[in-house]
Chains A and B, each alone.
Chain A
Amino acid sequence: MSLYRAETRRLAKRRFTRWLLVGALLVLGAVVVGTAFTNQKVGAAQIAAAEADAERNYQENLRYAEQERQRCETDPSAYGGDCSQLYTPQREEYRAEDYMASTFDFRQKFGDMITTLAAIVGLAAFVIGASYIGAEWTSGGMMNLLLWRPQRLKVLGTKLIALLVGLGAVSVVLSAVWTGIFVLIANLRGTMAGMTAGAWQSVVLTEVRAVALILVAGAIGFGLAALGRHTALALGAAVGAIVVFQFGLVTVLSLARVPFAEAWLLPTWVAAWMYKEITLEDYNSCDFSATQGCQPPELTLTWPMSGGLMALALVLIVGAAMWTMRSRDIT
């Protein structure tokens, strides 16, 4: 327990941890401010104004169309000889909702906000995890600690647990605050309509998946840096994965017209995890056209598939880190 307490204190005392969390909070704050300013409450007055705007726009375009028709009748050759083909605006094309300012529909939009939270905090968790153990190795702190507690797996395991408990606590608190802030935004600049008990349950489950994603990101960052005994290894691996997989491999696969190349993209799997499933379509399999209605083959990635992949990566990376910790000399 004393080792766990020491590691929790060490993690919290690190300036890098604090600054990175502050940075993540600033980005999240910018998202909140942006959302609050770009949405507004929709009431009877806003609906009436939007309907008036739609009607005015319709009448204006109708007038332009009429002027065009008259010019066509004067000189049909300039219009291809057939004035009946000229476009005439239809009233149903001018919907009032298109003339209304954006409103924050909690039920519809909060899922995206949870994904945003998971992505930003997950990235911070990856770097915090990597730096927490990486700096210990490069500064010699790990060797010092092992002179006090010569149980390598216990030391590394305790550090990982301290990291995950810390990240978990921060993520849960942030999720709760995030939900509260967006409930407030929805009440002031949107709507909470449709938020039934089932909808709330779905929100909570999405947040649980977000917290799990953050913890996995932290553990993978920790594991990679522990493997290389340096923060840079984790960051290098992350950059390498982005360059090789996110750009290189997907570009090559797309050029080779390999079906479902997006399945190699990390964000695809994150989306499958967060939104419970994501459907990919192979547009290369036929000349897809909205009018001819070719239905391309689909690949559905579900959250259990994504979870399995994350669990596999976690076990491989953290397992390898534990194994090297146990077997490699500390020089």
Chain B
Amino acid sequence: MSAVLEISGLQKTYRSRKGVRRALDGFDMHVEAGQVHGFLGPNGSGKTTTLRTLLGLIKPHGGRMAVLGREVPEHLPEVVGRVGAIVESPQFFGNFTARDTLSLLADAGGVNQNRVYAVLELVGLRDRATDRVKTYSLGMKQRLAVASALLKEPQLLILDEPANGLDPGGIREMRTLMRTLAESGMTVVLSSHILGEIQLICDSVTIISAGKRVAAGSVADVLAQHRTSAVRVRVEPGVDLPAVAEVLRAAGAPQVTLQADHLVVSGVDRPAWITWVLSERGVWVSELAPVAVDLESVFLELTGTSPVEGENRQVDQTALATAPGRGGWGQ
């Protein structure tokens, strides 16, 4: 498979009176043709900066980018006709109708006006096409943004938070649309915070934190790399859980975590050992199941953004950013 999007060593630094902030710090990304690629990262991690830089809205301070085999931003005008994109929240001139908005974009991009009706139909705005955009809900504006990105029948579709403001039905429609587009040969890069959606529809992911790539690859590979040997242990009701945890620790379990109604035991080679140890003490196990790793837990682990009870995490507070000499204004 050929690469549709390649980024290596991308740098972007913001300077202000408060100091210097590295928004992108040698970021790398690689997207193969025909994939639905998830682009994940906590708030302020550099996702939107990456997309804006890729699309020529922001000038990088270093690194290399290529889209559809052409170096950008130098050759962006040559490939932009094959790249559809929405960046951050959808923004349109409120007094124009959806049809006018798309028609003007079609004129500016030299796209056949018939496409306007086709994409409005595709995103479900056909019947509201002549309404002013300012009367639209956030979800409808989001649909219009997706329509504008699809207008030029792109080979590469870049969508920043396309599910923002969509109702559950809309999210499902968007998911189906993404898959349909990918099946038709379009490459889709999708930035989202709805990690369950990403896991469902993406073939591959890149996770960014504090301007650096912290994980990349197929969804299955990323999950496999972070699979643990942890098992969930439930015992019969009425049994003292802290005492059971102590029993396991005393028997040699490397890590036992006490949860509200169960235990999580990690580092044990054979889960059957747990039932044996507990049965020896007259405690009967009612559930013994491997803890499944999902994209959300991997994301939270890699970016260090898991909520901690009693703490208010700040936006720049991530696993990488909190390392000495990294990220944050004034550092």
Q: Which of A5, A7, A149 has the most CB of B within 10 A?
A: A149
* Option from B77, B87, B105, B108 in Cβ contact (under 8 Å) with A143: B87
Contact indicator A9/B57 (Cβ below 8 Å): no
Q: From known contacts A139-B93, A140-B92, infer whether A329 and B105 are also in contact, taking CB-CB under 8 Å.
A: no
Give Cα A24–Cα B103 distance, bound, in whole angstroms: 29
Interface check A150, CB cutoff 8 A: yes
Contact indicator A2/B108 (Cβ below 8 Å): yes
Give Cα A150–Cα B80 distance, bound, in whole angstroms: 8
Contact indicator A10/B104 (Cβ below 8 Å): yes
Q: How far is the CB of B61 from chain A (nearest CB, A)?
A: 11
Interface residue count for A (Cβ, 8 Å)? 27
Interface check B269, CB cutoff 8 A: no
* Option from B57, B91, B103, B108 in Cβ contact (under 8 Å) with A149: B108
Interface check B203, CB cutoff 8 A: no
Q: How far is the CB of A4 from chain B (nearest CB, A)?
A: 9
Interface check B95, CB cutoff 8 A: yes
* Option from A2, A141, A330 in Cβ contact (under 8 Å) with B57: A330
Contact indicator B58/A139 (Cβ below 8 Å): no
Contact indicator A148/B80 (Cβ below 8 Å): yes
Contact indicator B52/A144 (Cβ below 8 Å): no
Contact indicator B73/A139 (Cβ below 8 Å): no
Give Cα A139–Cα B141 distance, bound, in whole angstroms: 13
* Option from A9, A139, A146 in Cβ contact (under 8 Å) with B56: A146
Q: From known contacts A13-B100, A151-B77, infer whether A6 and B92 are also in contact, taking CB-CB under 8 Å.
A: no
Interface check A331, CB cutoff 8 A: yes
Q: How far is the CB of A227 from chain B (nearest CB, A)?
A: 18
Q: From known contacts A148-B80, A330-B52, infer whether A143 and B104 are also in contact, taking CB-CB under 8 Å.
A: no
Contact indicator A147/B85 (Cβ below 8 Å): yes
Interface check B109, CB cutoff 8 A: yes
**Which A residue's beta carbon lies closest to that of B91?**
A140
Contact residues of B between 52 and 71, Cβ < 8 Å to A = 52, 55-59
Contact residues of B between 39 and 60, Cβ < 8 Å to A = 52, 55-59
Interface check A20, CB cutoff 8 A: no
Give Cα A187–Cα B185 distance, bound, in whole angstroms: 73
Interface check B35, CB cutoff 8 A: no
Q: How far is the CB of A306 from chain B (nearest CB, A)?
A: 36
B56: A residues at CB distance < 8 A: 146, 150
Q: How far is the CB of A135 from chain B (nearest CB, A)?
A: 7
Q: Which residues of A contact B (CB under 8 A)?
A: 2-3, 5-7, 9-10, 13-15, 135-136, 139-141, 143-151, 329-331
5 chain-A/chain-B pairs, Cβ below 8 angstroms:
A146-B56, A147-B55, A147-B57, A150-B73, A329-B52
Further pairs besides A139-B91, A139-B92, A147-B55: 10, Cβ < 8 Å:
A2-B110, A3-B107, A145-B105, A146-B55, A147-B57, A149-B77, A150-B76, A150-B80, A329-B52, A331-B58
Q: Which residues of B contact A (CB under 8 A)?
A: 52, 55-59, 73, 76-77, 80, 85-87, 90-96, 100, 103-105, 107-110, 148, 152
